Structure 1
Amino acid sequence: MSVVIVIPARHASTRYPGKPLVELRGVTGEGQSLIRRSWEAAMAVNDVDRVIVATDDDRIREHAESFGAEVAMTSTTARNGTERCAEAVAKLGMTHEIVVNLQGDAPLTPTWFIEDLVKGMREDPGADVATPVLRCSGAMRSELIADRVAGRVGGTTAVFGHDRRGLYFSKEVIPFTAAEFGPNDPTPVFHHVGVYAYRPEALAEYPTWGEGRLEALEGLEQLRFLERGRKVLCVEVEARGREFWELNNPSDVPKLEAMMQRMGIA
């Protein structure tokens, strides 16, 4: 199956304006923008036919083109990354069998997360959408809870059934458990990784439905698929020793840079 990765990026982020152009510094001390690091992560994925940056901002377009990225200009009316992906695919007339949305705030996404995601879609023809989930250690669960206690919107968690079909996604830490966990203990909480793979038909329909009630409450675009009864496949991925976090708030910059230092990322 042919695969395209689309990286939606907007400048006017509510929580962090200009986020795609924020620089992250690795072990060399040289800064590279968030959008460039996300593009490089996409380019490293095996068996991908095309990588597109989709944006509505000329500053992001000019910067992305400066390091060789292909860019699709989209409207300012897209309400989220999925709508922006749908618009880019339609505008460019792309006919790939799987469209991957690698959101531009997750530059530490390992290549195998996306490769496993595509594999999951190929193995489950009934899935309209697929998204990776990562089992939280006790330490990661504690970080998610600390963010919520501090009033920060941190990571998203997912719950799913025995068939791996997504039941719900939330910015709260779910499922609740009163159990205690050590830093390295596995927990029943799964961190949702902000990457999606879509069937083109489901992606094309998505913008026509309008924003869902739960989607509006949580601010989570994938809930629109659940509210419409579409199958969202949760693909469990393994960290393999890699640390993972998304850049949601300015306070996440030093956290990501520290992770890059520990993992030896330039």
Structure 2
Amino acid sequence: MSALIVIPARYESSRYPGKPLAELKGATGVSKSLVQRSWEAACAVKGVDRVVVATDDDRIRDAAEAFGAEVVMTSSECQNGTERCAEAFDNLGGGFDIVVNLQGDAPLTPAWFVEDLVKGLRNDPMAEVATPVLRCDGRALNGFLEDRKAGRVGGTTAVFTKDHHALYFSKEVVPFTSQTFADEDETPVFHHVGVYAYRPAALGAYPRWDAGPLERLEGLEQLRFMEHGRQVLCVEVEARGRQFWELNNPEDVPKIEAMMAEMGTP
């Protein structure tokens, strides 16, 4: 089954305008833009046939083409990354069995997260959409809680059934727990990793659906599938000692740079 990775990247953002072009310094002191680091992460994934950046902004297009990425221009009317992926897929003429949305704010996404996600969707012929979840250690959970106390939106959390069908996703920390955890402790909270794999039929239907109240309240695009009765498969992935964080706010830049330095990411 052929697979395409689309990296949706938009310049306008209420929380962080120009985020795809934000510079991140690696362990060697070399600075690269967020969109370049996301593209490099996508190119490291095995079993993928094509990687493209999808944007509506000439500045992002020029920057991406300068480091060698293939770019697909999309409409400024796209409301989220899934809609942009759907348009990019159409503009490419289709031809892939699985489309992966590797959002451009997650440069630390390990290749095996995406590989496991694609495998999970391939192995479940009834699933239309899949997304990875990562069990938080105490360090990650405490980071989420610190963000919320400071009034910042950090990572997204997920709860799901024993069959790994999603029950809900939230920018709040769910489920609630009154326990305290040391950095290395295992916790009952799962971090939703901002990657999606779709079958073309589900992806094509998505832009035709209205956004529901939960999607509008949370600002989480995957909730549209659930509000329209589609099951979302949560694929549990393992960190294997790697740290993971998304760039949601300007304050996340030094946090991600510190993680890259610790992991030796160039």
So what's the TM-score if we normalise by structure 1?
0.99
For residue 86 of structure 1, report the CA deviation from its aligned partner.
Answer: 0.3
The 1-side partners of 2:29 and 2:231 are apart by 43
5+ residue gaps, structure 1, are none
Give SS of 1:62's match: helix
Residues 126, 231 of structure 1: 8 Å contact kept = no
Root-mean-square deviation (CA, aligned residues, Å) is 0.7
1:34-85 alpha-carbon deviations (Å, 9 max, x no partner): 0001001101100100001000000000111111111100000000000000
Give SS of 1:40's match: helix
Give SS of 2:113's match: helix
| Equivalent residues in 2 for 1:1-266, closer than 5 Å | 1-266=1-266
The 1-side partners of 2:94 and 2:7 are apart by 15
Aligned length: 266
- Report the residue type matching 1:66 in the other structure: A
Residue identity over aligned pairs, in percent, reads 70
For residue 4 of structure 1, report the CA deviation from its aligned partner.
Answer: 0.2
Q: Which moved more, 1:175-184 or 1:91-100?
A: 175-184
- Report the residue type matching 1:155 in the other structure: G
Residues 127, 231 of structure 1: 8 Å contact kept = yes
Give SS of 1:94's match: coil
Write out the 4+ residue segments of structure 1 that deviate beyond 3 Å after TM superposition. Answer: none
So what's the TM-score if we normalise by structure 2?
0.99
1:191-229 alpha-carbon deviations (Å, 9 max, x no partner): 000000001000000000021110000000000001011
Q: Which moved more, 1:174-183 or 1:104-113?
A: 174-183
For residue 179 of structure 1, report the CA deviation from its aligned partner.
Answer: 2.4
For residue 180 of structure 1, report the CA deviation from its aligned partner.
Answer: 2.8
5+ residue gaps, structure 2, are none
For residue 175 of structure 1, report the CA deviation from its aligned partner.
Answer: 0.5
